[in-house]
């Protein structure tokens, strides 16, 4: 049930302030423990990014103890306590019942023990608590699951996934992030219950899918997604199931890279459609369009300087990663080659818009201005014209003569 971890918590950037919160609660007659992911990550030796606290006291009692409290979810027993400029979610021991919308419980009631509170959690590795002194509370053998690198649910997998189907995605995401094996009994229930994913918002699915593809053991996670049939319930993949088994050769780091990779696997689905169906941000779609366009340009013309220019420094690293994920090998280093380009933006041209207009004073303003400047940029980037004003003027005049016939 419990053991003691030897660690000087007070030297940790997060554990130290968290212990101060716990001590204040205990001084007012309550119990409090660090719970969930922070305990799991501590036992794994991974970076602890935040600390959640479970307590026997009610939210109103917590608000009376601390000066800075934000009542973010007080109806469900949760408040945020600010301590030393850090935020800690403090939640009263609770149980939940009747998940009518497959996410939010219709009934939340407070309970008296940490063990009861832990019993409502998703996976055994997340159902542990730790005292301020390092004593581990582990009623569901979460530490053993971590030691054996297994993902198992607290209680019945069927019950846990019917409460919140996103837990199926979380199980596979954790396998990708931690390299853990999902329990066979859990996998069987995911196969049976995967259709419940249709009840979830696309945004929740997108967040979990991105983390799965970006995990160090992404191949394990994606193979689970395909093997359990989860892919068949995800946007776009549900109508293009043959793409589910196509794994990137390297890890993709975010949605823009993922979208670019899978667009190559299913070219009949435009980048814009991918972005719309997954409800991705405009900035993500814009970056994916740029990367995908550069992939197509490479297929048609090879690695050219203008291709690198169109990517710019912001998207270049992502493009290189997508190219590697697709199996392309390049003899020269695209990053070094990009750095050696004569210019990296149109603003670096030694001929600006006003100077261009002065060359053709009789001509009205129009789209020809952008076309001429872009053509000039391409010429400079590809080494056909030197970035010196006199040379640029000569080149533009010749371009105009050719276009005017």
Per-residue pLDDT band at 99 (split at 50, 70, 90)? low
Does the structure show a pLDDT above 70 at 308?
Answer: yes
- What's residue 144's pLDDT? 97
- Alpha-carbon distance values, 165 to 94, 103, 199 (Å): 20, 8, 8
Q: Do 210 and 292 belong together in one domain?
A: no
Question: Are 231 and 166 found together in one domain?
Answer: yes
Q: What is the pLDDT of residue 106?
A: 62
CA distance 201 to 349: 47
For 310, the domain range is 248-341
194 — pLDDT class (breaks 50, 70, 90): very high
The answer to whether residues 123 and 2 belong to one domain is yes
**The pairing of beta strand 69-73 with beta strand 150-151:** unpaired
Q: Is 329 in a helix, a strand, or coil?
A: coil
Alpha-carbon distance values, 340 to 127, 381, 383 (Å): 53, 10, 12
Is 170 marked within a binding site?
yes
Residues 151-190: tens digit of each pLDDT:
999 999 999 999 999 999 999 999 999 999 999 999 999 9
| CA–CA gap between residue 189 and residue 200 (Å, rounded) | 18
State the pTM of this model.
Answer: 0.87
Classified as helix, coil or strand, 231 is helix
- 103 is annotated as contributing to ligand binding: no
Q: Determine the distance from the C-alpha atom of residue 251 to the mean position of all C-alpha atoms in its chain, rounded to a whole number.
A: 13
Both 181 and 198 in one domain: the answer is yes
334 & 264 share domain: yes
pLDDT at 202: 96
For every residue of 351-387, DSSP letters joined together read S-HHHHHHHSTTSPPSTHHHHHHHHHHHHHHTTSS-S
The count of structural domains within the chain is 4
> Could you tell me if 365 and 232 lie in one domain?
no
Final residue belonging to a domain, choices 183, 214, 240: 240
Residues 17 and 40 in one domain: yes
Last residue of a domain, one of 130, 145, 160: 145
Which of 145, 161, 189 marks a domain boundary? 145
Res 174: pLDDT: 98
> Rounded to an integer, what distance in angstroms lies between the CA atom of residue 234 and that of residue 241?
10
Q: Is 219 annotated as a binding residue?
A: no
Buried b (16+ CB within 10 A) or exposed e, 365-394: eeeeeeebbeebbbbbbeeebebeeeebbe
Count Cα atoms within 13 angstroms, Cβ side, for 310.
23
Residues 3 and 103 in one domain: yes
Give the long-range contacts of residues 147-152, CB within 8 A, separation 24 or more: 149/178, 149/179, 149/180, 149/181, 150/180, 150/181, 150/182, 150/183, 151/123, 151/125, 151/175, 151/180, 151/181, 151/182, 151/183, 151/186, 152/123, 152/124, 152/125, 152/183, 152/185, 152/186
Give the mean model confidence (pLDDT) for residues 201-225.
96
Whether the Cβ atoms of residue 33 and residue 137 lie closer than 8 Å to each other: yes
User: Is residue 82 marked as binding?
Assistant: no
The answer to the question of whether 121 is labelled as a binding residue is yes
- Listing DSSP states for 158-192 in one string gives HHHHHH-THHHHHHHHHHHHH-PEEPHHHHHHHHH
Domain of 354, CATH number, reads 1.10.246
CATH number of the domain residue 154 falls in: 1.10.110.30
Residue 112 pLDDT greater than 70, yes or no: yes
Q: Are residues 29 and 82 in the same domain?
A: yes
């Amino acid at each position: 049930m419990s053991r003691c971890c030897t660690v000087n918590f007070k030297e940790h950037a997060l554990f130290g302030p968290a212990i101060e919160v716990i001590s204040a609660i205990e001084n007012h007659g309550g119990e409090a423990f660090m719970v969930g992911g922070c305990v799991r990550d501590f036992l794994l030796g991974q970076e602890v990014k935040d600390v959640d606290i479970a307590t026997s006291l009610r939210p109103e009692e917590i608000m009376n103890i601390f000066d800075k409290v934000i009542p973010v979810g007080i109806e469900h027993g949760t408040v945020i306590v600010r301590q030393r400029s850090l935020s800690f979610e403090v939640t009263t021991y609770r149980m939940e019942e009747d998940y009518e919308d497959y996410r939010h419980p219709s009934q939340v009631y407070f309970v008296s023990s940490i063990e009861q509170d832990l019993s409502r959690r998703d996976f055994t590795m997340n159902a542990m608590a730790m005292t301020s002194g390092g004593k581990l509370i582990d009623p569901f053998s979460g530490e053993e699951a971590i030691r054996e690198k297994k993902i198992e649910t607290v209680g019945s997998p069927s019950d846990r996934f019917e409460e919140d189907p996103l837990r199926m995605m979380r199980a596979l995401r954790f396998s990708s992030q931690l390299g853990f094996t999902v329990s066979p009994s859990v996998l069987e229930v995911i196969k049976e219950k995967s259709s419940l994913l249709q009840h979830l918002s696309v945004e929740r699915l997108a967040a979990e899918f991105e983390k799965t593809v970006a995990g160090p053991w992404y191949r394990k996670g994606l193979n689970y997604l395909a093997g359990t049939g989860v892919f068949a319930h995800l946007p776009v993949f549900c109508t293009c199931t043959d793409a589910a088994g196509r794994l990137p050769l390297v890890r993709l780091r975010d949605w823009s890279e993922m979208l670019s990779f899978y667009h190559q696997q299913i070219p009949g689905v435009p980048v814009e459609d991918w972005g719309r169906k997954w409800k991705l941000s405009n900035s993500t779609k814009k970056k994916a369009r740029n990367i995908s366009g550069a992939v197509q340009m490479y297929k048609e013309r090879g690695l050219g300087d203008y291709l690198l220019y169109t990517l710019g420094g912001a998207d270049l690293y992502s493009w290189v990663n997508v190219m590697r994920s697709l199996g392309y090998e390049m003899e020269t280093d695209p990053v070094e080659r990009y750095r050696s380009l004569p210019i990296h933006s149109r603003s670096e041209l030694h001929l600006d818009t006003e100077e261009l207009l002065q060359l053709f004073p009789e001509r009205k303003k129009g789209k020809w201005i952008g076309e001429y400047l872009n053509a000039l940029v391409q010429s400079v980037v590809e080494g056909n014209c030197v970035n010196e004003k006199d040379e640029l003027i000569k080149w533009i005049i010749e371009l105009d003569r050719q276009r005017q016939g």
